[in-house]
Amino acid sequence: MSYLVIGLGSMGKRRVRDLIALSEDQVLGFDLREDRRREVANRFGIVTFDSVEQALQHNLKAIIISTPPDLHMRYAHLAADLNIPFFTEASVTKEGMLELIGKLKAKPDLVSAPSCTMRFHPAVALLRQIVKDRMLGENCFFTYHSGQYLPDWHPYEDYRQFYVSRRETGGCREIVPFEWIWLTSLFGEISKGISMKRKVSSLDVDIDDVYQMVLEFENGIQGQVTVDVVSRMATRTFALIGEKGTARWNFFDSALEVYDGERQVTKRLPITSGDRLFEYEDMYVSEMCAFLQALAGGNPFPHDYPTDLSLLEKLERLEQGKI
């Protein structure tokens, strides 16, 4: 049997690489762009197609949908109609998702998985334990900033031709729910929030490039979240603050720092994957491994489309100023 990766851009190439490393099954690729098909065929030695109909002639174990986000549902519906398990990259738009959920309810044994990459970061697991154990006190709050200059996302191509430069699938619109997925794994569902957004840069795009939000979660924790595509220095910095101490996480550091306010000492907790320090690609490998395990009848994938839809609906309301 074979895995079919639809969309052979940056994420599609990553999924091809991970599948080759994780499985002995054949990996196939589909993309309308000839240059991408040629690059992937040369780099990974896989068979590629310029027609999805051709690719579907093979006996497929699953489909991995790595297209721009406004095309996810087109191929997810196709997979569901053919009873083929599928995985989609991070969601930005909800068009067609409610209908997909209806199809999946009628097919409860069909494995379907929307991406939740950051949940597989070991630092998130450490933070989840800190929250569960109330290490920093009964009541906490947090600040979080995630930002990177939009042209630096894909420096090898014109950012104006990249889907993150379009209003519906803009960079901030993509990253806000991407970050919410792991934040809700710590604190529960978002119960209310207020926001402001605007364009502050001179980038040649019609998108809001800064989103600023104050959120409250179902466990009572409140936090301030800023997402931007303006920061020339890429950043992901998180601080969880309570009466007993502070936990600080810099995405680019190899450890999570926990300050004990009573002892007035800081402890560095290494961020590891197995017996070595965490590397950026590890969370993508772990995510694909979780999907393959779900296919094999193991633990269910830790994210689903009803939850994804709920986050996207909250994003739309927050873009109007308030949840």
CB-CB contact of 81 with 100 (8 Å): no
- Is 131 a member of any domain? yes
Q: What is the dihedral of CA 281, 284, 288, 294, to 10 degrees?
A: 130
| Cβ atoms of residues 230 and 200 within 8 Å | yes
Identify whether residues 196 and 64 lie together within a single domain. Answer: no
**pLDDT at 316 (0 to 100):** 97
One domain, residues 79 and 169: no
Same domain, 241 and 271: yes
User: Is the domain of 124 the same as that of 261?
Assistant: yes
Q: How many whole angstroms separate alpha carbon 323 and alpha carbon 215?
A: 9
**How many domains, the chain?**
2
Are 23 and 40 members of one domain? yes
Which sign, positive or negative, has the C-alpha torsion 195, 200, 201, 207?
positive
CATH number for position 177 = 3.30.360.10
Residue 77 covered by a domain: yes
pLDDT bracket for residue 203 (50, 70, 90): very high
Residue 110 sits in the same domain as residue 134:
no
Point out the domain boundary residue: 66, 81, 114.
114
Please check whether residues 143 and 269 belong to one and the same domain. Answer: yes
Average pLDDT, the chain: 97
Q: What is the pLDDT of residues 53-71, one digit of tens each?
A: 999 999 999 999 999 999 9
Q: The domain containing residue 201 runs over which residues?
A: 118-278
Looking at 62, 86, 114, which one is the last position of a domain? Answer: 114
Banded pLDDT at 15 (limits 50, 70, 90):
very high
For residues 172-200, average pLDDT = 97
Kind of pairing between the strands at 265-270 and 272-273 = unpaired
pLDDT, tens digit, for every residue of 256-298? Answer: 999 999 999 999 999 999 999 999 999 999 999 999 999 999 9
Same structural domain, 95 and 159: no
What's the confidence (pLDDT) of residue 162?
93
For residue 283, is it within any domain?
no
The reply to whether 314 falls in a domain is no
Reported as a single tens digit per residue, the pLDDT across 229-265 is: 999 999 999 999 999 999 999 999 999 999 999 999 9
Mean pLDDT for the stretch of residues 125-145? 97
User: Is residue 164, in this structure, part of any structural domain at all?
Assistant: yes
pLDDT at residue 142, as a whole number: 98
